[in-house]
Amino acid sequence: EVQLLESGGGLVQPGGSLRLSCAASGFPFRSYGMNWVRQAPGKGLEWVSYITYSSSGSFYADSVKGRFTISRDNSKNTLYLQMNSLRVEDTALYYCASCTGGSCYYYGLDVWGQGTTVTVS
């Protein structure tokens, strides 16, 4: 079964740091790009970051650029999001999502985890 399982969320004070993890199983993780998408309470979806299958490229939303870093360990089938200088407005449910159909720009984000909650207060 294709599965993504996020962890690492929690309560942190403004200015603090947190590292999220996303463990993948059931598909060749090393072959596909990965994303983080967040959803503030009662709000819509916000794309946060994308990393290519080989880590050769990474991209960020303007709201997190310079504060968040996406990375992956293909030997551990795990995606990460290092979040520094956290702000109250970073409070959200953070999803990891993959593009197992192929290139994300064409095939979209087809596999999603259930999310991990980050609260900055």
Partner 1 sequence: DIQLTQSPSFLSASVGDRVTITCRASQGISSDLAWYQQKPGRAPKLLIYAASTLQSGVPSRFSGSGSGTEFTLTISSLQPEDFATFYCQQLNTYPWTFGQGTKVEIK
**Residues of this chain that bind partner 1 (CB under 8 A):** 37, 44-47, 50, 59-62, 95, 97, 101, 104-110, 112-115
Three-state SS across 50-104? EECCCCCCEEECCCCCCCEEEEEECCCCEEEEEECCCCHHHCEEEEEEECCCCCH
Supply the minimum distance, in Å, between the C-beta of residue 47 and partner 1.
Answer: 5
Supply the minimum distance, in Å, between the C-beta of residue 93 and partner 1.
Answer: 9
Nearer to partner 1, 97 or 118 (CB): 97
Nearer to partner 1, 105 or 121 (CB): 105
Q: Compute the 3-state secondary structure of the chain and give helix, strand, coil in percent, each to the nearest 5.
A: 10, 50, 45
Nearer to partner 1, 12 or 61 (CB): 61
